[in-house]
C-alpha cells in the first residue's frame, strides 16, 4: 500500500488515481496522521503531496521526523530498511527544510511548463528522457539541499528539481508528476512505486468492492437498527452507489428517487424500470414535482434555483432519515475537489449540493457514506462493470442534479419545460442515431430567454431560440465543444424547429471550458 499524506493539494487525488492505475492500493490521509497510525498501516511507501503553505511560515503543516526513518514491516524487508518517501513540491520543500537545507521564495514564481534536464541513472528517473517537459506550480523552492542530499535533475529556473538523500530512500520533486502536462510524470511515479518501494501490482477494482462492502457492514452493525438511505438519480454514480449499498446491506438499504419536476422526458420511468428489470431491486419513488415547481415559480437567478432545488432535496431526504440512519451519496472526486477536500485541508473553491450545512453536520456525526468520493468517472464505470451493471446504464451522459432548471434560462414554467423536454429528446435521439452518444461527455438542449424573428409558411413568427451544447471531456473539469458533423447538426435543428412548438431558431454553442462552463447556468 502506498500512503499519500495530504498537505492540502488540489492534486492529491490525482496522485491516488495514478497509483491505483498501476494496480497498487493507495490511501490518502491528512498530513498530521500520527506515526503510530501510519506504522499500523504498514505502507510500502509514502508520498507527501504539494500544498498551498510555505515551510517558512510559522505553523505551516509539518510531519513527525520519525517518519523519515520509519522501519519497514517484516513482510517488506527486502530493499530499503526504512519506508521510502517521495515529497512533491511542498512535500519536497518540507523534507529539505526538516533535514537542514534551505527553502526560499523564488525571485519569480514558476508556473507552467519547464524543461527538465538530467543525466542520472537513479531508479526514480529510469525511462525518463534526458530532456523532458514537466509542470511547475510553486513560489518557494529548495535553494540549498541538506548536506546528505544530491540533485539528480534541474530545470532552467530550479537547479534541484529532483533530489534525493544519498543513503536513505528519501526523494523530492519540485514539480508535479501527477498532472497531465508532466510528460513522464506517470513513469516517475511508477518508478517510485515499483523500483524504489518494491510494490507489487496486485490490487483490483474487485478489492475496492469487497473493502467497501465490509466497511459498510461494519458501520451498520455498530449502529443498532440503522438503515442506509441512498439518494438515487439514475445517473452513473448514484446507480453504482445504490448497487454497492444494496450488495452491502440489501434489507437495510432504502434507495430513493425523487421526481423533482425538472427531469428529462420519461426519465423517472426509465430509471424505475432499469432498477426493477435490470438491476434486480426496487427504488422508492417520491413524486415531488409540483412542490419543486411551486418553489421555483418566478425564480430566474441560477444560484437561487440551485439553492431551492438543493434545499427541497435535503428536506425530502432528511424527513426519511431516522435518528441513527446513514445517508449514502454518490459524491465523486471532481464533486469535492472544487468544494472541500474531504480528507485534508484543501482550500475551498466552490460549494456543492453534497456539502450543504445539514449534510456537513451529518458528516460530523459520521453518518454520511460516500464510497465513490476518491474515484473519477471512468473508475466509477469500471467499478459498475465489476458489479454487473449493464453497459448502457454506465455510459449514460451526466445530468446535473438541478436538472432542466439550469437549462431553462430565466423563469421555469410548465410550457417552457415541455418545449425543452422535446428539444432535448431530439438532441439525444439524433446523437445516438449518429453513434456519437458514448463519445461525448454531454449533449443537450438549452432554452434561451430570448425570442427571435422567423418565417414559417406565409407568416412571420416571433418565437423561442434553442441552443444545442455538445462537449468532450474526461472529468468535467475542462471541456471542449464537440465538432459535430454538419449534417447531424442540421437534422437536430430541423427536427427541433419542426417538432417543438414555439421554436423557430437553433444555435450551436462553440465555447469551451474554461472560460465557459458546460451548463449555461
Ligand atoms: P459546469 O457547468 O460547472 O459543469 O462546467 C460541470 C459538470 O457538472 C454538472 N453540473 C452539476 N451537477 N449539480 C450537479 O449535480 C449542479 O448544480 C451542477 N452544475 C453542473 C454538469 O452537468 C457537468 O457535467
Sheet holding 2-6, edge to edge: 26-30, 2-6, 45-48, 85-88, 170-173, 158-165, 149-155, 102-118, 131-144
Supply the mean pLDDT for the chain. 92
State residue 109's pLDDT score: 66
Mean pLDDT of 15-36: 92
User: Rounded to whole angstroms, how far apart are CA atoms 185 and 179?
Assistant: 7
pLDDT tier at 272 (50, 70, 90 boundaries)?
Answer: very high
Confidence of residue 336 (pLDDT cuts 50, 70, 90): low
Say whether 8 sits in a helix, a strand or coil: coil
User: Which mutation among 303, 353, 400 tests ligand 1's pocket best, with the greatest number of atoms within 8 A of CB?
Assistant: 400
User: What ranges in 8-80 are assigned the alpha helix state H?
Assistant: 12-21, 35-41
pLDDT score of 340: 42
Q: Is residue 171 within 8 Å of residue 86, measured between CB atoms?
A: yes
The answer to pTM > 0.75 is yes
Fold of 205-394: Rossmann fold (3.40.50)
325 phi/psi in degrees, rounded to 5: -65, 155
Q: Work out the pLDDT band at 387, boundaries 50, 70, 90.
A: very high
pLDDT-based confidence at residue 392 (cuts at 50, 70, 90)? very high
| Average pLDDT of the residues in 86-96 | 97
Q: In this model, does residue 480 exceed pLDDT 80?
A: yes
Residue 348 and residue 230: Cα distance in Å, rounded?
26
Q: What angle do CA 150, 151, 153 make, to 5 degrees?
A: 155
Beta 2-6 vs 45-48: how paired, if at all? Answer: parallel
Q: What is the Cα–Cα distance from 482 to 494, expressed in whole angstroms?
A: 19
Instruction: Please give the residue that has the higher pLDDT: either 205 or 337.
Output: 205
Specify the ligand 1 atom closest to the Cα of 473.
24
Looking at ligand 1, which atom is closest to the CA of residue 306?
17
Copy the grid coordinates of residue 463. Answer: 418565437
For residues 17 and 267, the model is more confident at 267
Length in residues, the chain: 521
E strand or H helix that includes residue 257:
strand 253-259
Query: What mean pLDDT is predicted for residues 329-346?
Result: 61
Which H, E and C letters describe 132-169, residue by residue? EEEEEEEEEEEEECCCCEEEEEEECCEEEEEEEECCCC
42-51, 111-120, 465-474, range with the lowest pLDDT: 111-120
- Report the pLDDT value the prediction gives residue 351, as an integer from 0 to 100: 53
Catalytic residue (one of 178, 267, 312, 521): 178
What is the Cα–Cα distance from 430 to 422, expressed in whole angstroms? 12
Distance CA 64, CA 472 (A): 44
- pLDDT category, 75, cuts 50, 70, 90? low
DSSP state of 341: -
> Nearest CA to 47 among 22, 330, 430?
22
Ligand 1 touching residue 402 (CB < 6 A): yes
Q: Is 513 in the pocket of ligand 1 (CB under 6 A)?
A: yes
Q: Where is pLDDT greater, at 336 or 248?
A: 248
Grid cell locating 213: 462492502
Using CB atoms within 10 Å of the CB of residue 301, give its burial: 0 to 12 exposed, 13 to 18 middle, 19+ buried.
exposed
Q: What percent of the chain has pLDDT over 90?
A: 78
Q: 519 CB less than 6 Å from ligand 1?
A: yes
Report the run of H or E that residue 285 belongs to, with start and end. strand 284-287
What is the rounded CA–CA span in Å between residue 376 and residue 475? 7
The whole-number pLDDT of residue 46 equals 98
pLDDT tens, position by position, 420-454: 999 999 999 999 999 999 999 999 999 999 999 99
Edge-to-edge strand ranges of the sheet holding 228-232: 284-287, 253-259, 228-232, 326-328, 368-369
The C-alpha cell at 520 is 449555461
Asked if residue 214 has pLDDT above 50, the reply is yes
134-145 average pLDDT score: 88
182 C-alpha to center of ligand 1: Å?
A: 27
Lowest average pLDDT, out of 33-47, 70-84, 232-246, 288-302, goes to: 70-84
Q: Of all atoms in ligand 1, which is nearest to the CA of residue 401?
A: 15
Cβ pair 201, 2 in contact under 8 A: no
Rg over CA atoms, the chain = 26
Per-residue DSSP letter, 70:
P
Of 176, 184, 246, 352, the active-site residue reads: 176
5-14, 288-297, 509-518: the lowest-pLDDT one: 5-14
- Just give the CATH number of 407-508: 3.30.300.10
Confidence of residue 366 (pLDDT cuts 50, 70, 90): very high
pLDDT digits (tens, 9 = 90+) for 47-74: 999 998 999 999 999 999 999 999 987 6
**Smallest Cα–Cα separation from 226: which of 328, 364, 355?**
328
185 pLDDT higher than 80: yes
Is residue 176 part of the annotated active site? The answer reads yes
What is the CATH architecture of 2-196?
Answer: 3-Layer(aba) Sandwich (3.40)
pLDDT band (50, 70, 90) for residue 343: very low
The residue-averaged pLDDT of 77-100 equals 92
Residue 350: per-residue pLDDT: 45
Over range 222-242, report the average pLDDT: 95
CA 397–ligand 1 middle distance (angstroms) = 12
Predicted local distance difference test score (pLDDT) of residue 333: 73
User: CATH 3.40.50.880: which residues of the chain?
Assistant: 2-196
pLDDT of residue 346: 44
Q: Which residue out of 89, 158, 197, 230 is catalytically annotated?
A: 89
Amino acid at each position: 500500500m502506498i500512503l499519500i499524506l495530504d498537505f492540502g493539494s488540489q492534486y492529491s487525488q490525482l496522485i491516488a488515481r495514478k497509483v491505483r492505475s498501476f494496480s497498487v492500493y493507495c490511501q490518502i490521509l491528512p498530513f498530521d496522521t500520527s506515526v503510530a497510525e501510519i506504522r499500523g498501516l504498514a505502507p510500502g511507501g509514502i508520498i507527501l503531496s504539494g500544498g498551498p503553505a510555505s515551510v517558512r511560515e510559522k505553523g505551516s503543516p509539518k510531519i513527525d521526523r520519525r517518519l523519515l526513518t520509519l522501519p519497514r514491516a517484516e513482510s517488506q524487508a527486502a530493499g530499503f530498511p526504512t519506508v521510502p518517501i517521495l515529497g512533491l513540491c511542498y512535500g519536497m520543500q518540507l523534507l529539505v527544510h526538516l533535514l537542514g537545507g534551505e527553502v526560499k521564495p523564488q525571485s519569480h514564481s514558476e508556473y507552467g511548463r519547464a524543461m527538465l534536464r538530467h543525466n542520472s541513472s537513479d531508479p526514480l528517473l529510469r525511462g525518463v528522457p534526458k530532456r523532458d517537459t514537466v509542470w511547475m506550480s510553486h513560489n518557494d523552492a529548495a535553494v540549498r539541499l541538506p548536506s546528505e542530499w544530491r540533485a539528480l535533475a534541474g530545470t532552467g529556473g530550479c537547479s534541484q528539481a529532483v533530489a534525493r538523500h544519498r543513503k536513505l530512500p528519501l526523494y523530492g520533486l519540485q514539480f508535479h508528476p501527477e498532472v497531465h502536462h508532466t510528460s513522464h510524470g506517470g513513469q516517475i511515479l511508477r518508478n517510485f512505486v515499483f523500483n524504489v518501494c518494491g510494490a507489487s501490482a496486485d490490487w483490483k477494482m474487485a478489492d475496492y468492492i469487497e473493502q467497501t462492502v465490509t466497511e459498510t457492514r461494519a458501520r451498520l452493525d455498530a449502529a443498532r437498527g440503522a438503515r442506509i438511505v441512498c439518494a438515487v438519480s439514475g445517473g452513473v454514480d448514484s446507480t453504482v452507489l445504490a448497487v454497492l449499498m444494496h450488495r452491502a446491506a440489501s434489507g437495510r438499504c432504502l434507495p430513493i428517487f425523487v421526481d423533482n419536476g425538472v427531469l428529462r422526458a420519461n426519465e423517472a420511468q426509465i430509471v424505475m424500470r432499469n432498477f426493477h428489470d435490470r438491476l434486480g431491486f426496487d427504488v422508492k419513488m417520491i413524486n415531488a414535482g409540483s412542490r419543486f415547481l411551486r418553489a421555483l415559480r418566478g425564480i430566474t437567478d441560477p444560484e437561487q434555483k440551485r439553492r431551492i432545488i438543493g434545499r427541497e432535496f435535503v428536506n425530502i431526504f432528511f424527513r426519511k432519515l431516522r435518528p441513527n440512519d446513514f445517508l449514502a451519496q454518490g459524491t465523486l472526486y471532481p464533486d469535492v475537489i472544487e468544494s472541500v477536500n474531504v480528507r485534508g485541508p484543501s482550500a475551498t473553491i466552490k460549494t456543492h449540493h453534497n456539502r450543504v450545512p445539514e449534510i456537513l453536520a451529518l458528516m460530523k456525526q459520521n453518518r454520511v457514506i460516500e464510497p465513490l468520493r476518491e474515484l473519477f468517472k471512468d473508475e466509477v464505470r469500471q467499478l459498475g462493470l465489476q458489479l454487473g451493471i449493464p453497459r448502457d446504464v454506465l455510459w449514460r451522459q451526466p445530468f446535473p442534479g438541478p436538472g432542466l432548471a439550469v437549462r431553462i434560462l430565466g423563469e421555469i414554467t410548465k410550457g417552457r419545460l415541455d418545449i425543452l423536454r422535446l428539444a432535448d429528446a431530439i438532441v439525444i435521439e439524433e446523437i445516438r442515431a449518429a453513434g456519437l452518444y458514448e463519445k461525448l461527455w454531454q449533449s443537450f438542449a438549452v432554452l434561451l430567454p430570448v425570442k427571435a424573428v422567423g418565417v414559417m409558411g406565409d407568416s412571420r413568427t416571433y418565437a423561442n431560440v434553442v441552443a444545442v451544447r455538445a462537449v468532450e471531456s474526461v472529468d468535467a473539469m475542462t471541456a471542449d465543444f464537440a465538432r459535430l458533423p454538419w449534417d447531424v447538426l442540421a437534422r437536430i435543428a430541423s427536427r427541433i424547429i419542426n417538432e417543438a412548438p414555439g421554436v423557430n431558431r437553433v444555435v450551436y454553442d462553440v465555447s469551451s471550458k474554461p472560460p465557459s462552463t458546460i451548463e449555461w447556468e
